[in-house]
Amino acid sequence: MPELLRIAGLTAGYGDVQVLWGIDLDVREGEIVAIVGSNGAGKTTLLRTISGLVGARAGSILFEGREISKAGPDEVLAAGIAHVPEGRRLFKGLSVKDNLLLGAYLRRDKAEIQNDLDYVFDLFPRLKERHSQDATTMSGGEQQMCAIARGIMSRPRLLMIDELSLGLAPALIERLSEGLKAINGNGLTILLVEQDVMTAFELASRAFVVETGRIAKAGETVVLADDPAIRQAYLGV
């Protein structure tokens, strides 16, 4: 599979605090890749740096061969990377449908936008049922569906999701996981940050383990799941 995203020697942080230290990472077209690690390891900062919300201090971020480490959030989105942030960040007072349409605000292909709206409603029927409801009044799982669907509405090449399962019941996590597998089956590449390592390993073919802002381990998830250190640290076995 051709390489879609290549990160090399990436450092980033906030003010005087450096969070990422020389991150090397790659994502190939058509994959689901997971970034796992404990709370505070730097996973969210990594996604925020890729999407242009946090400035890179050093290193490179290549997307489809193009350097984007200095690009702003709008430029990154226009290049084909959509970011579903931790906490969903839906717009209060706007309906589910209007929140979804905001995901397509850079697009001008109205007919295709409607097609994509129909697609996400088919993918998550609950959103169609609640299309006129204030998106922020839905359950946590429904809000996560809406946030993912909003990301899809930009028609990205790469969908980045921060903490898919946070605060959700197992049945909802399973439903969301099925949705992501369907999206990926239709050709969308996914980069998933997840604190629940078991969920991440079930979804992804490869994973990167982040510890204190550095890549500690990387490889196929079936191999990492049998690593004694990872099983003890993250899987409780």
Per-residue pLDDT tens digits for 56-103 = 999 999 999 999 999 999 999 999 999 998 876 898 999 999 999 999
Look at residue 140 in the predicted model and tell me its pLDDT: 87
* Shared domain check, 174 and 112: no
* Shared domain check, 148 and 56: no
Q: What one-character DSSP code corresponds to residue 186? A: T
Residue 179 and residue 84 in contact, taking contact as beta carbons nearer than 8 Å = no
What's the domain count of the chain?
Answer: 2
* Shared domain check, 208 and 105: no
Q: Which domain holds residue 223?
A: 1-80+159-237
The phi and psi torsions of 142 (rounded to 5 degrees) equal: -65, -35
Look at residue 216 in the predicted model and tell me its pLDDT: 95
CA distance 37 to 167: 17
For residue 228, pLDDT beyond 80: yes
Nearest to 180 by CA among 208, 198, 200: 200
Residue 85 and residue 45 in contact, taking contact as beta carbons nearer than 8 Å = no
* Shared domain check, 70 and 115: no
Q: What one-character DSSP code corresponds to residue 95? A: B
Look at residue 195 in the predicted model and tell me its pLDDT: 82
Residue 207 and residue 195 in contact, taking contact as beta carbons nearer than 8 Å = no
Number of other CB atoms surrounding residue 107 within 10 Å: 15
- Average pLDDT (126-139) is 95
For residue 13, pLDDT beyond 90: yes
For residue 23, pLDDT beyond 80: yes
Place of tokens 């390993």: 201
